[in-house]
Structure 1
């Protein structure tokens, strides 16, 4: 049997052209060729003849085809099977995916947080590669280090682009909610990278409202709204429902929780339609389970009062400050109630919201709290009622008294300012009077006490207002408080001025962007109208057929 000289191959055959049969040999530099003579046999194959023993060998081919190599492999493993390069590539790829899924599952199960390190590596060809390494303690309290990614980063390599790449890798591994620290080098672009990470919802403060549930619903809405064909298919699913709803499924913005509530609320109304869609559409694979729908329902029910209060604050051009105290009190009562909830998800959400509430609202704004007292439907009694629900009877009385005393101090300032203005006006009007001055005729009249009427009351305008009966809050639910004080300006001139200034205090520093129609909201409504028009035309076309 002829043997092949593959391991000594030192040349290659190159076709000059399709019509040219001449071949060019690479220079043979190996010392072995001093012992062989090359020639072509009758079939045109390259062969080599040993100068010492006249034995013939094939001069072409690869080393893996050499008989001695095959005998060596067979000796090491009798069942060896030779595979091609593409097969080996496929096997390595499948092995990588299998190990990746195994590591991904392990990272999902570990109870501890994950620390990350990331850096850019440069090759000799100046290509940049981002390496992302995870450091964590496993269930056996052993520190582990795993390289999650080593991927090429084409230019430009700005901090914003690297942040997007990093976030996409974390989402790919499903660990964006388990990150404890990220360690980077001191490159200048990392400052921008860190700033972008801090702005992202995955790294900012958020409600622990079972992210998987919200994610599945969000992806379901995205899928349905992704194309006209899916919208039509979803409409067909809606037609299978025993009831009809005019609300469309809304996609949320993850950074605005009130839009997330709207998404949950509309999706829950289409719950059965999503389930039906999952049965007829093999590509729709993010339909929430029955348990996840139940959790979403609890989350929506918890967020509903906050959504309505936010709408109340920001749903008009000029919301008066009397909305403040009552609404914030309702939020605090709701949070305290849900802290005792048996549902762990709701309880965790309430804890986070309580921390936020304590940071911004725990010390009720004194000036804005005055507004509820100047609302004739509530007055000071409502403040006592609210404080008693929160802090108990004794604390309620003391807190309400502090608020009342401060209100009187403010009112005293308005009285003094009003008196000064009256004197100034009198002096200005007296400058052009004739020689006859009637002031001397009325000197002392202001301090005269009538023997028939009796002494004048010493009660101030604020005293009289607080002692008068409150308006029924149910009968005057839509009372215009500013309009009320406009009508009372003759009875309570200084008090009405103070009420006007306090009630006009804005509840936020922005110019009521939610109350004024936003251009983006208008665009969304136009898109929704266009979608409805397309669906209506498709339905009409189906009816004609």
Structure 2
């Protein structure tokens, strides 16, 4: 407790002596010398170099104030100066000449900062009660009052409610529609949680994302139960009338949930085009399903490499032995052998790609470690894995692109699909029978899910002035050479349908400037009448011509 005192300081030594004495003799009365005739007291104790006398209480006790931290304590003939010595041994301000320049601590801000730190770094509430944290806070500012875990819990709940109201106000103030994504997550303890995220473009044209809820979802997880939960969350956030699309994985319960959600929102007449574009399937998940079918063709060599990686990562001694093998074959050590999550093909690709880089090290370990030989793939299996990774690299690059969160990804959809289709088509005709078989399996899955894609994703490439409708026609011609014109016409018609919906919603605000706003002399009411007549006569023609003129321009 006295470790912060300077051991060379004479007063510090005296403090330690007095504290030791005070612990046995609390009434230290020898510091005040007063003769029997009650003359003025002479203060001889060293403690008065650190304290100022304040005033006398009604009960006759006196108080003194610490010159460093300005706290006051009682002393007197009956209590002595033990109180003062005890405080001086613990005073964190002693010796700090600049403390008077410091502004007093705001306990409310201090508690809020502590709450933010707990939330941001995922700490438990009991952090505030840990001795080390409390000592640190007192050292930084001795006025900081201790906080209990119950207090910080209440503070964090208040912060959450305040931030929720702020986000709710933000969502209701934007003029654009909101796109939702939702998914079921499984924790390490196998508990399921429903995540609901809102995506929208802010008034300053910056893409925004807000995680609205991460809600515990006990079983069962059927479509009706999930739909009821999502509807309740939309009501809670007051955004039922602002929803445009919802993006989901390709799970059967999600299809049931979407149908019920669509029916609910249709009854309230809040969906654009009767929900024609409401359901959007997750592109990254579709790619995962397509590739998983290809992975099954070479499941045996993949399984062997997975076992190899598990073997070298199972203990510290095996890691060191594998590191020695890397040095022996003169390979760079700037990467590590990754272990995959079997349900996520992109992690499997990373595992195979890193294993191929360390192929010589694995071979060296195979030579020196007989136990490892059980898992080691044959040369033919290594070759199959190498061919497979070459086939999968475009899929991995596209998935990484789709996983981006700081930029829009809808406009990348058509380009990515075309690249994947091109790779699969080329590999179907590969002379290697195994690679051709993998590509055929992936092509079947690709054609199945291409039919399910939402047309709204094609609108993003149409609204890109570099491509417009021509790119949609081009992509369909490559995918469906026999009926691409009909498919392209369907996309074009739906694009017009959505524009007309916006036109009706904004009540003509999408039109160009009215002729009534032009200057050039005052023609009185006749000019206003003509503007109204012209608006009625040519409204439909002018609205359509905006889209036509955009699409027809080069």
TM > 0.5: no
Bigger relative CO (Cα 8 Å, ≥ 6 apart): 1
What TM-score do the two structures reach when normalised by structure 2? 0.41
> Comparing both structures, which one devotes a greater share of its residues to helix?
2
What TM-score do the two structures reach when normalised by structure 1? 0.41
